[in-house]
Amino acid sequence: MTDQTYPALATANRNTSPTNASVKTQRLANQIMLFAIALVVTIVFAFPIYFMVSSSFKAENEVLASPVHIIPEDFQGIAQFQKAFETVPLGRYFFNSFLTAGIDVVVTVFFSALAGFGFAKYDFRGRRIFFFFILTTMTIPFQVLLVPLFIEVRSFGWDDSYAGLIVPGIMNAFGVFMMRQFAYGIPDELMDAARIDGASEFRIFWRIVFPLLAPASASLSIIIFLWSWNNFLWPLIVIKNQDLAPIQVGITAFTQAHSAEPQWAVAMAVSTLATLPVAFLFIFFQRYFIEGMTMGGVKG
């Protein structure tokens, strides 16, 4: 796949102005302009994150200092990180978060794609009601569902266990809704062609639709991982045994200590570490957002 920025534009220019030099200058100017805009926008957006990261290298009384210290003046090195690992079993927390998020992503993305496809491309009795019901679960504030959900999970015997921690979040209405929208964009001709060739409906899903939903799946994977990773309230309520606690509950040891002011520097250190996995995931999935990963075989 060649890096054609403006294929049509290039063609047009080649037709009207004969020199390659002016094409290159035009492209360079565009590149610089785009980069500049993107840079400014990115700095504005990323600054608070920079602040979080830089605070993890500050001494405790520097974090809240006013006027704000943009660069740590009393550089702590990895002292705050070490303190985090010494105070709580951070490795265990990371493991629990990974386990929960990993399972959530795989199960949610697969079943959301399946259900989204079902809602978008099939017409069966009850379709509207089922979709409405699933939408409902997204619209009621979780604080209200918290107590009865906990009562229910407890009745299964799952409180204070991995099952109770992971299973209630293993599917996501957002995922279903999102995949339905993306599934609408898949041309029926592709599916009909496969049916003519004798493929079963599930095979159509697995071989044709799911690969075409790759960009959406990539986005959804990042989103679900993020939500699962940052989930706080449910793990807090359902887990008592600290061996099962995820990162977000672990952070509270620094932000919500009893009769003590929060230790922000350490909390920022833990948060910085906590954002790395999702950042890596985002980078990893970038290749699904490259233009051109589209439906093959469609004639314009």
The conformational region for residue 157 under phi > 0 = left, psi -120 to 50 = alpha, else beta, is left
Q: Of 18-26, 76-84, 98-106, 215-223, which part binds other proteins (CB under 8 A)?
A: 215-223
244 lines the binding site for other proteins (CB under 8 A) = no
74 lines the binding site for other proteins (CB under 8 A) = no
Among 18, 77, 91, 141, binds other proteins (CB under 8 A): 141
Query: Cβ(278)–Cβ(97) under 8 Å?
Result: no
Burial class (CB in 10 A: 0-12, 13-18, 19+), 237: middle
CA distances for 45 relative to 39, 48, 136, angstroms: 10, 7, 33
Among 233, 244, 266, 269, binds other proteins (CB under 8 A): 233
CB of 275 to other proteins, least distance (A): 4
Q: How open is the CA angle 37-42-43, to the nearest 5 degrees?
A: 105
91 lines the binding site for other proteins (CB under 8 A) = no
126 lines the binding site for other proteins (CB under 8 A) = yes
* Residue 171 DSSP one-character state: S
Tokens of 54: 């830089």
Binding mask 43-72 for other proteins (x = CB under 8 A): --xx-xx-xx--x----xx-xxxxxx-x--
- Determine the length of the chain: 300
Among 174, 190, 199, 210, binds other proteins (CB under 8 A): 174
Among 151, 207, 211, 243, binds other proteins (CB under 8 A): 151
Among 181, 207, 211, 243, binds other proteins (CB under 8 A): 181
235 lines the binding site for other proteins (CB under 8 A) = no
Interacting positions 96-115 with other proteins (CB under 8 A): 111-112, 114-115
Tokens of 243: 């061996």
Cα separation, 225 vs 227, in Å, equals 6
CA distances for 181 relative to 9, 136, 189, angstroms: 32, 17, 18
Helix (H/G/I), strand (E/B), else coil: 33: helix
Among 38, 73, 75, 211, binds other proteins (CB under 8 A): 38
Q: Of 18-26, 77-85, 98-106, 257-265, which part binds other proteins (CB under 8 A)?
A: 257-265
143 lines the binding site for other proteins (CB under 8 A) = yes
Q: Of 16-24, 71-79, 98-106, 144-152, which part binds other proteins (CB under 8 A)?
A: 144-152
Whether cis (ω within 30° of 0) applies to the bond prior to 235 is no
Cα separation, 24 vs 1, in Å, equals 20
78 lines the binding site for other proteins (CB under 8 A) = no
Question: How many residues bind to other proteins according to rule CB under 8 A?
Answer: 140
CB of 135 to other proteins, least distance (A): 7
283 lines the binding site for other proteins (CB under 8 A) = yes
Burial class (CB in 10 A: 0-12, 13-18, 19+), 79: middle
284 lines the binding site for other proteins (CB under 8 A) = no
